[in-house]
Structure 1
């Protein structure tokens, strides 16, 4: 296969920004540098005026496939992902059936191999029903174990709710345990207070008071305390408060951290002042909170207390969202718009482009132990995207690719636009057109002993 050279690009990689070129042979990078390499019969693509960054690895999505495909599926949502510069994702276990054993996990990987345009990995679900059986097996073949989303199947499935269960898990598992950090008892008590006053139609502006700062802070405090006790590997999903962000370390590099966390794009983009306009469209669990919390999360990204940026992409139909408070589903789509939203925050002065690439591309690969991903390096898989930083466009129903057909940022004009996306060296997205002739790959994990949380235990 001929070598492809992308030249005259502004490359952002490993904390540096420079004008240069990359070369690709088959599915891997073979060169990155400031000069254009000389190869015989190479295909040369001039990327003048465009920024070239590694493909985004979204560490938390709900693509709803299998079993809940009236909302989304792997084909539709991976198409939206690559259009947004996302080349890889990790999908949560609350599809149907829930991913609670190896057979279901394998079946989900087999399904993705036939449908997904982006590379994929899947969390193994962990709840009170399977915790003993799972912890008695070898879990090193999974990137992560998580309870997220499983609470929708019934109460009592949030690990953070049970000190005894968390203590057992942290004492036995050496894998990453990723938790949804809220205390259900506090939330239930708040729900009853507001239901007594408003009935079923509670104003959505009270969502961050019902799913409160207290519920999040107490859950995160408990998880950190127990993980520290056992020197366990804890990852706290979708952080929402400045108080929680202050609990995490920034005095050691990611490679040495045993306890890590993330922020999701909607918690960085919206605040509680947006409920009046957006209503239940921005009802997420955990809830979008105050402007002070939003700015606190951004500050924690900049000072490295927060390690990665995800979307928690969780599509529902408009009918499911546009309902009274208790009936409106929690979650919303964001994977198509995550990178351009973060670049918009950069243009507003909140974050550097280098920091965005670190948190969305480099660190997810490092944290979860994905082999040859997340960086532009010779020998690594050629996952990358080309972005025009001065190509304004407005999100509308005509260009939304989610199967659910809506977006919480509909009507928003972004200055940056993803122009091309390559997955494993294959140009899958090009200025609105898709080449679906090749599918993404299952993300390969590093051998157990080479993962950072094992080497530095």
Structure 2
């Protein structure tokens, strides 16, 4: 399904050729374009140009997600391709994935985003376009199944789909506002909040946010605390409450869907390649970043 910039590959012959020909991991965002267009046309017929944001998860529906992701999984199984599906959002899609084999042996892996684990369609009423993502945030039932699949190993990675559109862009009408939002700064503390709520262990957070991405994408010398590895580290105080306010939001776009929320945990320090780059809301002006390298 086309998203920001109308990025889209949905020609079945082209897709099959890609799946058959590449030895590399194929990573995809799965929504069915035809289903989305048909749903949007129906809502436009009812509302004209004033379609409400509360329709977002009905336009970019669970059906649109499942049609596309099931097609990708079927293609991967038929061709033997290595497939990773980004930002899953529905309960039905969870039946496409397995926890019966070790991650290292999986040919098909899956990812969920922090916002799909946190928000539901009820939040559109208060958050509006500020939680307009593609795929859309779905129902509480969908969220519950995502948590279940994450903990039982069907979902392998927790990610953010970080897209820092400006506040002005997001305050446009639903049809004009871009999808996506900033989430990198608050991803870890949001997951620690879920830990405090008994939804996930700290070990599982580390596995899904650090170890597994490094394994799946074969990222060289990252994702683990090991001698000879790059020291990409955060220090988290699990019991240091703080509230998200405009003055401590570090995104250049200046807003967060978590604004006003008080987290129980706080990141106090961040190291990139062994260099301290963040210390208690202060970011060091540095060029600590380095190219990611990948094992063959």
| Same fold per superposition (TM over 0.5) | yes
Please give the per-residue CA displacement for 1:5-29, whole angstroms capped at 9, x wherever unaligned: xxxxxxxxxxxxxxxxxxxxxxxxx
Deviation at 1:180? 1.2
Q: Secondary structure at the match of 1:312?
A: coil
1:152 aligns with 2:4: yes
Structure 1 Cα separation of the partners of residues 128 and 230 of structure 2 = 41
1:365 aligns with 2:214: yes
Please give the per-residue CA displacement for 1:305-363, whole angstroms capped at 9, x wherever unaligned: 11101000001111111121111111110000000000001101111111010000111
Contact 1:158–1:180 at 8 Å: present in 2 too? no
1:192 aligns with 2:56: no
Aligned residue-pair number: 296
Please give the per-residue CA displacement for 1:363-387, whole angstroms capped at 9, x wherever unaligned: 1111101111111112211111111
Structure 2 Cα separation of the partners of residues 206 and 306 of structure 1 = 27
Query: Runs of at least 4 residues of structure 1 off by over 4 A?
Result: none
Structure 1 Cα separation of the partners of residues 72 and 13 of structure 2 = 11
Report 1:75-224 matches (<5 A).
151-154=3-6, 157-159=7-9, 161-224=10-73
Q: Aligned Cα RMSD in Å?
A: 1.3
1:343 aligns with 2:188: no
Deviation at 1:278? 0.5
Structure 2 Cα separation of the partners of residues 434 and 208 of structure 1 = 36
Contact 1:426–1:438 at 8 Å: present in 2 too? no
Deviation at 1:153? 3.2
Q: Which runs of 5+ in 2 are unaligned?
A: none
Q: Secondary structure at the match of 1:238?
A: strand
Which residue of structure 2 lines up, in the alignment, with residue 96 of structure 1? Answer: none
Which residue of structure 2 lines up, in the alignment, with residue 229 of structure 1? Answer: 78
Which residue of structure 2 lines up, in the alignment, with residue 87 of structure 1? Answer: none
Report 1:389-408 matches (<5 A).
389-408=238-257
Structure 1 Cα separation of the partners of residues 196 and 11 of structure 2 = 42
1:415 aligns with 2:267: no
Structure 2 Cα separation of the partners of residues 258 and 178 of structure 1 = 12
Deviation at 1:255? 0.5
Q: Secondary structure at the match of 2:41?
A: helix
In structure 2, do the counterparts of structure 1 residues 438 and 326 end up closer, same or farther at CA, with 3 Å as the change threshold? closer
1:255 aligns with 2:107: no
Structure 1 or 2: more helix by fraction: 2
Report 1:218-367 matches (<5 A).
218-367=67-216
Structure 1 Cα separation of the partners of residues 101 and 116 of structure 2 = 25
Structure 1 or 2: more strand by fraction: 1
In structure 2, do the counterparts of structure 1 residues 325 and 227 end up closer, same or farther at CA, with 3 Å as the change threshold? same
Structure 2 Cα separation of the partners of residues 153 and 429 of structure 1 = 32
Larger radius of gyration: 1
Please give the per-residue CA displacement for 1:426-456, whole angstroms capped at 9, x wherever unaligned: 111112223324421111111x1xxxxxxxx
